[in-house]
Structure 1
Amino acid sequence: MLKQTILGAAFAGLALVTTASAHDTGDKVTPNFEQAIPNIPGKTLTALVVDYAPGAASAPHVHSKTGFVYAYVIEGSIESKVNDGAAHVYKAGESWSEPPGATHSISRNASQTKPARLLAVFVADTGDKDLTRYLK
């Protein structure tokens, strides 16, 4: 029963993140996992899979001020630019991290012909469901 309650709450919260990406230009965000971290009270680990069609991109966005982000390229190649850092293309098997409150001005499939897939893992305050806020 507790497991069902936790999973229901997790997917309800992740639906907000998934819905927010509906205005993007070609990415698809799918909830993968969410779990309170038992040995770090007040923190939750949330994992999302981001699929990019060839040439697709996420809208520029800012991540939660409570959330540390780890990104891992599962398939293809992703171009990313975080804060004032240089844009970089990461290939399958490569990863990077983003500090809390990071501005992600570029996040896109580096290929015009092949799909790309990214696993984004957030460690944020429990109850912080605004993990990504899109810039206008």
Structure 2
Amino acid sequence: MYLTTNKMPAEYGSWLSKENWDYFSTITFKHDIKPKRNESLMLRLETYLKGIGIKFKLFWVMEHTTNGYQTHNHLLIEGDGVKEAVHKYFKDKRLIDNRFVKHIPYEKELGASYYVSKYINQSNSKYGIAFS
């Protein structure tokens, strides 16, 4: 059975809400990051987190900004030290300014739909999930 595009965000949000998350993060880059580079950065972030050996769960979705030529990310993060590792990854690459990055404690009662699944339905979005 295939989900209609109207149902997909709600179903994805429901599925993600069954997981435990510690933080919701928004990462807006200092520079214009096009979709292909953004996706590559996120896949390398997943590899980086696996490489440093911490237990983690990460869901990310890339959203196009209103100007249409750059992107930013929304993440759900779970695991001790993972938020700090994600921040360090982008900081070490000099891609972020602390003023444009937010890490907010995840409130389970709001659910994942509130935080991220609303972005999945955009035709040009990319998303992924990774865990150790």
Shorter-chain-normalised TM-score: which range? Answer: 0.3 to 0.5
Bigger relative CO (Cα 8 Å, ≥ 6 apart)? 2
Higher helix share: 2
Instruction: Provide TM-score, normalisation by structure 2.
Output: 0.37
TM-score normalised per structure 1: 0.36
More strand by share: 1
